[in-house]
Amino acid sequence: MDTLHALGDGFLVALSFQNLALAALGCFLGTIIGALPGLGPSNGVAILIPLAFSLGLPATPALILLTSVYYGAMYGGRISSILINIPGDEPAMMTCLDGYPMAQAGKAGEALAISGIASFVGAFFATWGLVFLAPQLVKVALLFGPAEYFALFALAFATIGGVAARNQIKAAFATGIGLLIAMVGVDLQTGVARFSFNNIHLYDGIDFLVAIVGLFALSEVFVFLEHRAGGGVDATKVPLGRSMPSAKMLGHVTPAVTRGTIVGFLAGVLPGAGASLGSFLAYMLEKKVSGRKGTFGAGDPRGVAAPEAGNNAAAGGALVPMLALGVPGSGTTAVLLSLLLALNITPGPLLFQKHPDVVWGLIAALFIANIMLLALNLPLVKIFVRVLQVPSRYLMPTVAMVSFVGIYGISGSSFDLLVMVGFGIMGWLFRKMDIPLVPVILGVLLGKLMETNLRRELTISDGNWGALLDSPLSIAIWTCAILGFVLPLFIGRFIRPAAVNNEALDSD
């Protein structure tokens, strides 16, 4: 019960007036940052670091402020996904798939409330996982070498075909484009720049945030412009519907939330995986388990609940390697880590022993932030849904403005803005051709990691491909990928194997 005792001490630290106020401020700012396209959790935290410095905050309050922003942003990302089909940050991408159709069907309030509750549950259990399982979970992270990560990303790619139910070839094409974009920039394993055309701006590759904002937000603006220019009418008013889901519906989504939480948490714990993979796998698993009727993608509440539980659980999970090993499991935890260093706290295996006040204060703050976020988010659903009533002619310029300011604010680079516009045009074309956008981002996000891990393993094994199947864990993951996702496509229906083949080739 030492753990509970330590946690109790943590609550004493976190429950001071100043820390509570900071947590509330962090939650509020985080929700907004998460909801605005172009600003995600990692940028939000990075931008607020100077604020923490200039307020002269000591370690624990500074961490409380910034982790509240982190959790808040994970909550907030879903809002714009559901309401305007633009993910506020990258892990919220999967929430678009069913959240937006729900909003279109007049269930925006329910979608927001369900996703809020799912976020709460995911983050709540992930934080408990952090409390009790951190030392054990570190051992799980140590089971994953490059070969196992490669298998894990292969599993993710095996499931991509399921994202777009309608046309597998288009999904494969979109994935290929994503992989191509992921190739741009310096190749870690040789130190040579690829596809950068000697342009210094392309040397570090293309930031997927720029890609996401361009593909989703700007293309939406372009589509709007096109309809206006053609003299089209404004979209018909969408009914707002109820703002709390019925008990029956909550019961209906509970299994989805549970599965999403577990999958997301595990993905978060692995330093090389992260929240995007967590929400993606949570969605795909849910679709596999309960989506046989084809309701997924058309506004199934479980399709909202699973990825939201997943990405918030992953946010908690990512703190496990950060606190227990000093290894960031996501972009945001990397930023938090640099904050710890700046505050004279060396992260690493001894953090729990050396700075228990910091660690347990932080964990207690996570619980508090999580409850605050739920309390903040549920009543606000009624206000958020009003966004749907804002006429597009006001909403779209705002989206465009926020996108530009957000991207420029992070990098200070006008080149990134041009790339973003390029992606906007690409997204607009893809929408016209009915090519799904999500696989493009997944290709960018996961393709690079998959390639890197393959190359690492091959360097270590001196080019022996057999090393990829050298551990029971990697064999197990491969078996999962093949039995669960690839074989059914061949055995079940003979209509689509061609697309799967294409994809397998593309992802090489």
Partner 1 sequence: MKFSTFCKAALACALLALPGTAHAFDPGSTECIAPANPGGGWDFTCRQVGKTLQDLGLISGTMQVTNLTGGSGGVAYAEVTGKRNKDNNLIVAASSATSTRLAQGAFPGANMDQVRWIASVGADYGVIAVSKNSPISTLPELFDKIKADPGSIAFAGGSAVGGWDHLKVLIAARKAGFKDVRKVKYVAFEGGGEAITQLLAGSVQAFSGDASEAKGFVDSGDIKVLAVLAPERMPGDFAKFPTAREQGIDAIGANWRGFYGPGGMSDEAYKFWEESIAKLYNSPEWKKVMETNGLAPLDLQGAKFEAFVKDSITDIQGLSREIGLIK
Asked if residue 487 binds partner 1 (CB under 8 A), the reply is no
Return the SS3 of 310.
helix
The values of phi and psi at residue 193, to 5°, are -80, 140
Please state the separation of Cα 402 from the chain's center in Å.
20
Q: Which stretch binds partner 1 (CB under 8 A): 73-81, 105-113, 187-195, 308-316?
A: 187-195
Contact call for residue 475 and partner 1 (CB under 8 A): no
When the beta carbons of 16 and 338 are compared against partner 1, the nearer one is: 338
Q: How far is the CB of 442 from partner 1 (least distance, A)?
A: 19
By C-alpha distance, which of 376, 372, 394 is closest to 384? 376
- φ, ψ (nearest 5 deg) of residue 88: -70, -30
Contact residue for partner 1 among 347, 406, 439, 447 (CB under 8 A): 347
Two tokens at 16?
């001071």
- Residue 465 sits in the site that holds partner 1 (CB under 8 A): no
Report helix angle 301-317 to 108-143, nearest 10.
40
- For residue 91, with 0-12 CB atoms within 10 Å meaning exposed, 13-18 middle and 19 or more buried, which class applies? buried
Phi, psi of 172 (to 5 degrees): -65, -40
Q: Does 53 bind partner 1 (CB under 8 A)?
A: yes
Given a contact cutoff of 8 angstroms between Cβ atoms, the answer to whether 423 and 217 are in contact is no
**Residue number with CB closer to partner 1 (45 or 399):** 45
**How many Cβ atoms are within 10 Å of 253's Cβ, its own excluded?**
26
Query: Which residue lies nearer to partner 1 by CB, 57 or 163?
Result: 57
Kindly indicate which of the ranges 12-20, 112-120, 224-232, 328-336 contains the residues binding partner 1, using the contact rule CB under 8 A: 328-336
CB of 50 to partner 1, least distance (A): 7
Of residues 6, 49, 378, 417, which one binds partner 1 by CB under 8 A?
49
| Residue showing tokens 């790619």 | 157
Q: Which span (29-37, 101-109, 192-200, 484-492) binds partner 1, by CB under 8 A?
A: 192-200
Rounded least distance, CB 49 to partner 1, Å: 6
| Residue 484 touching partner 1 (CB under 8 A) | no
- Using CA atoms, how far residue 330 sits from 22, 82, 123, 311, 334, in Å, is 23, 24, 16, 12, 6
Identify which of residues 9 and 470 has a Cβ nearer to partner 1 in the complex.
470
Q: Work out whether 204 is an interface residue with partner 1 (CB under 8 A).
A: yes
211 touches partner 1 (CB under 8 A): no
Q: For partner 1, give the closer residue by CB, 146 or 361.
A: 146
Contact between 505 and partner 1 per CB under 8 A: no
Question: How does 380-415 read in b/e, with b if 16+ C-beta sit within 10 Å?
Answer: ebeebbebbeeebeebbeebbebbbebbeebbeeee
Separation of alpha carbons 74 and 88, rounded Å: 9
At a CB cut-off of 8 Å and minimum separation 6, what does 298 contact? 98, 101
144 belongs to the binding site for partner 1 (CB under 8 A): yes
Identity of the residue, 149 or 430, whose beta carbon is nearer to partner 1 in the bound complex: 149
Are 162 and 351 in contact by the 8 Å Cβ rule? The answer is: no
Tell me which of 21, 143, 482, 505 binds partner 1, using CB under 8 A: 143
Closest approach of Cβ 88 to partner 1, in Å? 19
Which secondary structure element, helix H or strand E, spans residue 69, and what is its range?
A: helix 59-84
47 binds partner 1 (CB under 8 A): yes
User: Among 256, 306, 325, 486, which residue interacts with partner 1 (rule: CB under 8 A)?
Assistant: 325
Q: Is 210 or 373 the residue whose CB approaches partner 1 more closely?
A: 210
Q: Judged by CB, which is closer to partner 1: 21, or 143?
A: 143
Residue appearing with tokens 């309960």: 290
Which residues are CB-contacts of 122 (< 8 A; sequence separation ≥ 6)?
A: 257, 260, 261, 264, 265, 308, 309, 310, 311, 312, 313, 316
Site for partner 1 in 261-280 (CB under 8 A): 271-272
| Residue of 47, 11, 287, 10 whose CA lies nearest to 164 | 287
Q: How far is the CB of 268 from partner 1 (least distance, A)?
A: 15
Q: Is 337 in the site for partner 1 (CB under 8 A)?
A: yes
| Of 18 and 414, CB closest to partner 1 | 414
Question: What whole-number distance in Å separates Cα of residue 31 and Cα of residue 33?
Answer: 6
- Looking at residue 363, its amino acid is I
Q: Is 321 in the site for partner 1 (CB under 8 A)?
A: yes
Q: Pick between residue 228 and residue 456 the one whose CB is nearest to partner 1.
A: 456
What is the phi/psi pair of residue 207, to 5°?
-65, 125
* Given 21, 225, 289, 341, the residue binding partner 1 (CB under 8 A): 341
Of 5-13, 185-193, 482-490, 497-505, which part binds partner 1 (CB under 8 A)? 185-193
Determine the Cα–Cα distance for residues 128 and 200; give it in Å rounded to an integer: 45
Determine, following the binding rule CB under 8 A, whether residue 328 of this chain makes contact with partner 1: yes
Kindly state whether residue 50 participates in binding partner 1, applying the rule CB under 8 A: yes
| Distance of alpha carbon 419 from alpha carbon 399, whole angstroms | 17
Taking residue 487's Cβ as centre, other Cβ atoms within 10 Å add up to 13
Nearest approach, Cβ of residue 337 and partner 1 (Å): 7
Q: Which of 236, 237, 433, 462 binds partner 1 (CB under 8 A)?
A: 462
Q: Which stretch binds partner 1 (CB under 8 A): 44-52, 213-221, 248-256, 357-365?
A: 44-52
Interface residue list for partner 1 (CB under 8 A): 43, 45-47, 49-50, 53, 141-146, 186-193, 198, 200-204, 271-272, 321, 325-328, 334-335, 337-339, 341-342, 344, 346-351, 354, 410-413, 415-416, 452, 456, 459-460, 462
